[in-house]
Amino acid sequence: RFQACVYFASVFQAMSCGIHYLASVFMAVTPNFVCGIPGNVSSVRFYNSCESSIEDIWTQWTSPENYIVVQLENGDVWELNQCDRSKREAGLDLAYEYKGNKSVFSCSDGFLYDDTKWKSTVVTQWDLVCDREWLAKLIQPTFMLGVLVGAVIFGDIADRLGRQRVIWFTSAGQFVFGIAVAFTFDYYSFVIVRFLLAMVSSGYLVVAFVYVTEFVGIKARTWASMHVHAFFAMGIMVVALVGFLVRTWWVYQIFLSIATLPFVLCCWMLPETPFWLLSEKRYEDAQKVINIMARWNKISTPCKVSELVSVQDDLGGGRMDDNDTSSAKKHNILDLFCNWHIARRTITVWLIWFTGSLGYYVFSLSSVSLGGNEYLNLFLIGAVELPCYIIACIGMDKLGRRNTLIPFLILSALICVSIMFIPQDFNILIILANMAGKFSIGVAFGLIYLYTAELYPTIVRSLAVGSGSMMCRVGSVVAPFCVYLRSVWIFMPLLLVGIMALLSGILTIMLPETLGKPLTNTLVEATEMGRSKKSCSGKTPPAHSSTTLEKIEMFGQEAVSTEK
């Protein structure tokens, strides 16, 4: 009961991460537009259609190459393009095709936008078009840069100061910065506040994975960790729903930000994890949390931390000699390369994170050819992830983490190759193949969060997940540039994703399996994971801390665990 309450409270806020990650899809959209005009319009012509106002023309607009001919009340005739306007020398000639002399002017009177779909976006508010279009294209990359920075910073802070404090700060930060975005006064303040919002959103998501992993025992760890992604996907569906209902960007942003307000009001009640408290030798605080868990779960004989760590205390002198088990040491990213086995593991894990993100976004960008209602398309993009995670959970529990990850990575590579041989006029088959590719890479992408948390010990677990998330964000930044390579060769993006997926699948073979194994607490235990029980010197590696944490991990899942 205790773990369930903590879990659902934590993952509910993960929806806000999905919301803010995808909010710019509708908030920064560029509608149809043309140059503004220096006067009142009396007549408008678009090809063979003649209307009284420009608003009546937008339903017929088909291409950015189109232009509109307008006649002002003073008799002047203008041709309105998207980034310039031309005044015809021969007045009163309202024909669409004109071969006479024209004077070209810049859009000094602003722009006219099609507001039939979106009443207001950040593009229309600050005229982020034409020579300022590059500013609009920087909105999502700068957000992803904030996600990258936040993943590393807050992952490290969570290992130093605890998961609880980071959960508090980042969840409150998402609400505060989310509302602040709606009230920014110019483009630059908008980008800066969104950057801060990205940092806290990324920080929460990274630490939330570690938080729920350390609270949930072995039996439920797979489903619990994977379905954090499901709540993220639900956030994407919320974006589609709110975008459909609200067409003014700042109102849209406010509604998205208050969606998870209930969690912000109660997140202060979440406790610190016993794992982190034990790693910091805060045994009394760990005992208090365990006692609370016992009361919630109606267990009359809670385990005693003093008994669990007694073996460590007896052997304290010997264990303090280990250079990587001192709780006083402040760990950093170099600890992920402390020896060859951990370094090789880190490189492989980072590659999987990068490949998963790269493939996810390349397949997503390829799916825009589906057409139809854009709100429904986004909703389905979020919904298609839900069965993906269910399949991943079943595979991880039945086959293991590694044995599920390898085939889906290789399957992604095979799908990339198969798409290259599908004739271009088979649109439906191409779309289905792209969705299959996204599904398979989604399984690998979702699995790697939990797998990373299980591959590393408590003292660097948040740092490992955070650095992996950093590589994930690098992949998401690279993905659009990868798609641009279609101009070189139409299948170049798929070829790159296929090569990365195949390489990742092969390297994953060398990773250890973590299914059914207790979480490790030291780098020594993490190094020995997957190797033979005896080290090269023939001595059995220390496992006291692992035994201690295994008991804590199993505690509260079922009463029989406390009787051993």
pLDDT at 558 exceeding the cut of 60? no
Per-residue pLDDT of 275-332, as tens digits, reads 788 877 777 777 887 788 877 777 777 677 666 666 455 544 444 444 444 444 567 6
Residue for token pair 């002047």: 76
Tell me: do 138 and 265 sit in the same domain: yes
Domain end residue (candidates: 270, 285, 309): 270
Tell me: do 77 and 8 sit in the same domain: no
Angle at 366 (CA atoms; ends 395, 240), nearest 5 degrees: 80
Report which of 215, 148, 223 is spatially closest to residue 468, judged by C-alpha positions. Answer: 148
Tell me: do 42 and 55 sit in the same domain: yes
Distance CA 361, CA 483 (A): 9
Q: Are 3 and 217 in contact (CB under 8 A)?
A: yes
Coil, helix or strand at residue 28: coil
Tell me: do 352 and 465 sit in the same domain: yes
162 within a domain of the structure (yes/no):
yes
Tell me: do 373 and 441 sit in the same domain: yes
Sorting pLDDT into bands at 50, 70 and 90, what band is 369? low
555 within a domain of the structure (yes/no):
no
301 within a domain of the structure (yes/no):
no
**Structure confidence at residue 251 (pLDDT):** 92
Beta-bridge mates of residue 71: 43, 77
554 within a domain of the structure (yes/no):
no
**Structure confidence at residue 543 (pLDDT):** 41
Per-residue pLDDT of 461-475, as tens digits, reads 778 877 887 788 788
CA distances from 59 to 51, 104, 167 (A): 12, 26, 47
Tell me: do 519 and 386 sit in the same domain: yes
Domain end residue (candidates: 98, 116, 134): 116
Structurally, the chain folds into a number of domains equal to: 3
Q: Are 31 and 115 in contact (CB under 8 A)?
A: yes
Coil, helix or strand at residue 53: coil
pLDDT at 205 exceeding the cut of 50? yes
pTM equals 0.77
Angle at 166 (CA atoms; ends 186, 5), nearest 5 degrees: 115
Angle at 353 (CA atoms; ends 349, 359), nearest 5 degrees: 140
Sorting pLDDT into bands at 50, 70 and 90, what band is 364? confident
pLDDT at 541 exceeding the cut of 70? no
209 within a domain of the structure (yes/no):
yes
Domain end residue (candidates: 251, 270, 289): 270
Tell me: do 154 and 111 sit in the same domain: no
Tell me: do 385 and 254 sit in the same domain: no
* Structural domain for 468, as ranges: 336-527
The structure tokens listed for 549 are 């944490």
Report which of 391, 510, 495 is spatially closest to residue 440, judged by C-alpha positions. Answer: 391
Distance CA 522, CA 367 (A): 44
Beta-bridge mates of residue 43: 71
Tell me: do 373 and 493 sit in the same domain: yes
The phi and psi torsions of 235 (rounded to 5 degrees) equal -60, -40
Tell me: do 447 and 501 sit in the same domain: yes
276 within a domain of the structure (yes/no):
no
CATH no. for residue 135? Answer: 1.20.1250.20
**Structure confidence at residue 498 (pLDDT):** 92
Distance CA 451, CA 359 (A): 19
Tell me: do 47 and 62 sit in the same domain: yes
Q: Percent of the chain beyond pLDDT 70? A: 85
Tell me: do 395 and 428 sit in the same domain: yes
558 within a domain of the structure (yes/no):
no
Query: What is the mean pLDDT of the segment spanning 500-507?
Result: 92
Distance CA 58, CA 52 (A): 13
Per-residue pLDDT of 31-74, as tens digits, reads 888 888 877 777 787 777 777 677 777 777 777 777 888 878 77
351 within a domain of the structure (yes/no):
yes
Cα torsion for 181, 185, 187, 191, to the nearest 10°?
Answer: -30
The structure tokens listed for 69 are 């001919």
